[in-house]
Amino acid sequence: MKINWKAAASLAIAILLWAAISDVGIVQKSLFPGPEKVLDAAIEWCAGGRMAEDVFSSLWRITAGIIIGSVIGVGAGLLTGRIVLLEESVGPLFHMLRAFPPVAMVPLVILWFGIGDTAKVFSISFAVFFTAWLSALIGTKAINSDYIKTAKVFSKSAKETYEKVIFPAIVPFIVNGIRVWIGTTYTLVFVSEMAGASSGIGYQIAISQITYRADMMIAGLLVLGILAYSTDFFFVALSRRVFHWADL
């Protein structure tokens, strides 16, 4: 594996600055602990498998939400992109709904579904759905009409046209659209877990706030950031492997 030395150097400098600011005491150390204290908190969090449980809970909710929202959204985008009447009927409604701030929906979703996994998965699916829908819609409309005509000349069925022509053409639009929203899915799971949960990274951060554990809160935020970056990295790697013929 090729090491990105520039990124490694930037990370090292950031950690050194963090340690220096904490040591100088501009902010109370109890409120802004240095890297060593945060590392100790992370080790404490790992004890007894608590971190593994929280990470698994958050990842499960995010993965389920992304898959459900993407599958339904892409399907809706393909249909509305090819059927003008359908786009004219539901398009304005979808555009209005996608303008809703996903985080603002969390309290209402909790009211509907409670504080269980259903509420968290629904919140993520709701946000991802509109991204996937719009990406698929734009991608479908961007397809060269000559490709569709050629498929008709060769007597390809509607199913074959979708599989062999339309879907391959919109893959880059979908992948890039979902990448944009991966960070938002972590924001949503964080907020929903803070609002009500018995496990998850957001839950751990909320408990740490109540107990005035800034070191544990920072550890939770760092784990959240690492997971978000890792999710994006592996999503792109998997997409390039599965859709190796696409320009990703």
Does 14 map to a domain?
no
* Position 248 pLDDT exceeds 70: no
Tell whether pTM > 0.85: no
User: Identity (one letter) of the amino acid at 70?
Assistant: S
* Position 42 pLDDT exceeds 90: yes
Q: For position 70, which CATH number holds?
A: 1.10.3720.10
Does 60 map to a domain?
yes
Does 5 map to a domain?
no
Does 179 map to a domain?
yes
Does 4 map to a domain?
no
Q: How many domains does the chain have?
A: 1
So what's the pLDDT on residue 247?
72
Does 27 map to a domain?
no
Q: Cβ neighbours of residue 132 under 8 Å, at least 6 residues apart? A: 69, 70, 72, 73, 74, 77, 174, 177, 178
Give the domain range for residue 59. 35-242
Tell me the C-alpha distance between 99 and 126, whole Å: 12
pLDDT digits 0-9 by tens, 78-113: 899 888 899 899 999 999 998 888 888 888 999 999
Does 10 map to a domain?
no
Does 168 map to a domain?
yes
Q: How many other β-carbons are positioned within 10 Å of the β-carbon of residue 171?
A: 20
